[in-house]
């Protein structure tokens, strides 16, 4: 991998964790995973997903496995969706964000049900809406930055 790309993904990781601290309940690393699956070779995506999975599992309060379900479902929706849509279409990203928001609601409720937890539903719905809106916007920004990296063949 080229040095500029390494710096880019390191910045995405640190920036994502910082933003997740600012806006709890929203995954700021998921757009990066989709971008990695679109633009990078698959080992890069696997390594990034592996690292980010541990960040989510370590910082979250859910039992181990929620992060695997989260990123597994995201990758599954992406692979299923890119047969039907243009993979780099903003509309597809918006649909993916909406799916992620819905999945956040379902996954958290499922885990809460299994653990016999009670959750504030209003906060959960707000997080789902934030995830739906933030996902395509962040993906668009990351896509633009990634395409303008110095050693990117797509760079102008």
* Subset of residues 56 to 85 that bind other proteins, contact rule: CB under 8 A: 56-62, 66-67, 70
* Residue 28 DSSP one-character state: S
Q: Least distance from C-beta 56 to other proteins, angstroms?
A: 5
Cα–Cα distance for residue pair 75/72, rounded to 1 Å = 5
- Determine whether 141 is exposed, middle or buried from the number of CB atoms within 10 Å of its CB (0-12, 13-18, 19+): exposed
The footprint of other proteins on this chain (CB under 8 A) covers a number of residues equal to 31
Question: Nearest 5°: phi and psi at 95?
Answer: -65, -40
Q: Yes or no: say if 25 and 128 are a contact pair by the CB < 8 Å rule.
A: no
- Determine whether 52 is exposed, middle or buried from the number of CB atoms within 10 Å of its CB (0-12, 13-18, 19+): buried
Q: Which stretch binds other proteins (CB under 8 A): 75-83, 86-94, 120-128, 136-144?
A: 120-128
* Binds other proteins (CB under 8 A): choice among 35, 104, 134, 143: 104
Q: Which stretch binds other proteins (CB under 8 A): 2-10, 26-34, 38-46, 143-151?
A: 26-34
* Binds other proteins (CB under 8 A): choice among 113, 119, 141, 155: 119
Q: Least distance from C-beta 152 to other proteins, angstroms?
A: 29
Residues whose CB is less than 8 angstroms from the CB of residue 80 and which lie 6 or more positions away in sequence, other chains included: none
* Binds other proteins (CB under 8 A): choice among 5, 8, 26, 132: 26
Binding site for other proteins (CB under 8 A): 17, 20-21, 24-27, 30, 55-62, 66-67, 70, 104, 108, 111-112, 117-120, 122-123, 127, 131
């Amino acid at each position: 991998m080229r040095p500029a790309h390494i710096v880019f993904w390191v910045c995405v990781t640190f920036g994502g964790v910082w933003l997740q601290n600012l806006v709890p309940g929203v995954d700021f690393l998921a757009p990066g995973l989709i971008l990695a699956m679109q633009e990078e070779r698959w080992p890069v995506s696997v390594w990034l997903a592996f690292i980010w999975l541990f960040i989510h599992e370590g910082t979250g309060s859910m039992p181990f496995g929620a992060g695997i379900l989260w990123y597994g479902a995201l990758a599954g929706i992406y692979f299923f969706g890119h047969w039907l849509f243009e993979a780099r279409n903003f509309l597809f990203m918006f649909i993916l964000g909406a799916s992620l928001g819905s999945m956040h609601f379902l996954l958290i409720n499922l885990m809460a049900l299994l653990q016999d937890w009670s959750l504030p539903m209003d906060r959960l719905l707000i997080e789902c809406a934030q995830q739906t809106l933030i996902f395509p916007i962040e993906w668009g920004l990351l896509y633009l930055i990634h395409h303008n990296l110095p050693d990117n063949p797509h760079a102008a």
